[in-house]
Amino acid sequence: MYENEDSLYSNSYPVRIIALRIEWMIYDPVTKSMSNEGHKLLLKILRSNDLEYFEIESLQLIIEFLYTKIKWFLLGLFFPLFLAGVIVQI
């Protein structure tokens, strides 16, 4: 924005920003848990045999967001079990 365009060290790259309002899908303020509608939608997508759903850019964004939220929980849960299995096989 206020960069020196004549400098060799100033670069600009095109960036694409995508934002979605998905609070309705993730959180219900009344029950303070995952919303029923969002849970049903994600389960139907999960159980669907149609892989074209996963080509939808907004759905990819939602999946990436949910993965970043649960990644460390899954790592903490399964990594000790993985290590125990490796130790038992040695």
Query: In this model, does residue 87 exceed pLDDT 70?
Result: yes
Q: Kindly state the average pLDDT of the residues 68-89.
A: 90
Domain ranges of the chain: 23-54, 56-90
What pLDDT is attached to residue 25?
73
Overall pTM > 0.95 = no
pLDDT in tens, 16-64: 887 778 777 777 778 777 788 888 888 888 898 888 888 888 888 888 8
Alpha-carbon gap, residue 61 to 26, rounded angstroms: 13
DSSP 10-40: -------------HHHH-BTTTTB--HHHHH
